[in-house]
Structure 1
């Protein structure tokens, strides 16, 4: 076996560019499978992630039905369950950067960077991994709520799960980018995550209707992508699949995914500089 050598005057970067290009889809699949293995081996995290949405539905749902049932109109569960699914997506994907922080502190991230896997594929593979727990947990929540009177439109429910998966890819990518940006100050990740998380959640109207809120709150919520995703889920669950709310929800989810992937891939490429 002969050792690879560099020609005189050839830098490592030039040698790297001279190597055969890797297949992006294959690299993404390799990273995706790697990220999913811990989930498959230890599904406890998926089960634990169901506690919060079920508690909200079990405790907050009846209170909402009693205090705001007339304001909401129609079936309270069709209004509240899609919001809880969006909340689960937001909470679950916004903390995924903490997994990358563990890789950074243990040196795994640096070892991954020197592999032949392309850096964009490493980010995209990690982000796509977030789709699996989102869809699995959301599907379980819907099934659990059926005996309690939830009757969503089947097609609308499926479309909502897909939309939340797209949103989760974007939020997860932004979370990874944040972890890379504050890699030398790990505590800063949680400061930023918590500071952004709760205003975004409350200004989406997922817990209480914003129509009765002050004008400034309605104005701020109009630029919150999560609000459009929440409204889209409610319309889809009710069977109004052709409404503008569903269309705007997809625009918001796709825009978040595109922005998140763009920022995340750039951060991943620059992480070895």
Structure 2
């Protein structure tokens, strides 16, 4: 976390693209997409932009492994008397913290664009928690992937492919109502679709759909455990090699 805040340019770079999407794309599509969000398309796409921020932050977290390897600190860390799970958890939480910081920036900016959280303070807390578990899962996955690849160029290419695939096969920018066939199946099986839907209902709705919300939270808690275990196992394999 100290490294991240000593290099604030990394925070700026990951927030620029989502802000452009929120400000420019939201404004341009406002008139043609009014029926989706009661006249405020910015509020409609905000959950998707939040998810884009989260995915980008977690991807940059995995990139840190290559920086540490080039400087030798990664290998010194491996021989340190520290548990492997602590090493992984520390780096994952760094990506989660960055995601929450940038999400806060988006929320503040969106308020100037007339976006309001329909479910109030409870909704805000639930949005934060949904972003937390989404970032935790993705950061663990990114960490594991970074340890499987030989260099940062291949890692960046693969992560861009993963992030864009997740983003565009979700309901980040559009409603699923008029979609059918294989594309609809792809959107439904994308776990981030359901997080986006939950956040969107918390922003646009006035009541909380607890049954659906708890189902999504439960599913992501399982995914978080899986990605964390995978990341720890990959780190232990680095020690063997």
Q: Name the TM-score, length of structure 2 as normaliser.
A: 0.90
Work out the CA distance in 2 between the residues paired with 1:262 and 1:242.
31
**Counterpart position of 2:29:** 64
Deviates more, 1:98-107 or 1:251-260: 251-260
* Aligned-residue RMSD, C-alpha: 1.9
The Cα shift of 1:150 comes to 0.7
Q: 1:196 pairs with 162, 165, 175, which one?
A: 162
Asked whether the equivalents of residues 62 and 143 of structure 2 are also in contact (C-alpha less than 8 Å), the reply is yes
The Cα shift of 1:148 comes to 1.8
Asked whether the equivalents of residues 101 and 186 of structure 1 are also in contact (C-alpha less than 8 Å), the reply is yes
Asked whether the equivalents of residues 62 and 142 of structure 2 are also in contact (C-alpha less than 8 Å), the reply is yes
* Largest Rg, 1 or 2: 1
Deviates more, 1:240-249 or 1:137-146: 240-249
**3-state SS, counterpart of residue 2 of structure 2:** helix
**Counterpart position of 1:42:** 7
1:169-210 Cα distance to aligned partner (Å, 9 max, x none): 11111111111111x344331232122221111111101223
- Gaps spanning 5+ residues in structure 1: where? 1-35
Work out the CA distance in 1 between the residues paired with 2:39 and 2:212.
17
1:144 maps to 2:109: yes
**Counterpart position of 2:235:** 268
Q: 2:131 pairs with 157, 161, 164, which one?
A: 164
The Cα shift of 1:77 comes to 3.2
- Gaps spanning 5+ residues in structure 2: where? none
**3-state SS, counterpart of residue 67 of structure 1:** coil
Q: 1:225 pairs with 191, 196, 199, which one?
A: 191
The Cα shift of 1:72 comes to 4.2
Work out the CA distance in 2 between the residues paired with 1:45 and 1:185.
19
**Counterpart position of 1:216:** 182
Q: Name the TM-score, length of structure 1 as normaliser.
A: 0.80
Work out the CA distance in 1 between the residues paired with 2:40 and 2:218.
26
The Cα shift of 1:235 comes to 1.2
**Count of aligned pairs:** 237
**Counterpart position of 1:111:** 76
Give the structure with the higher percent helix: 2
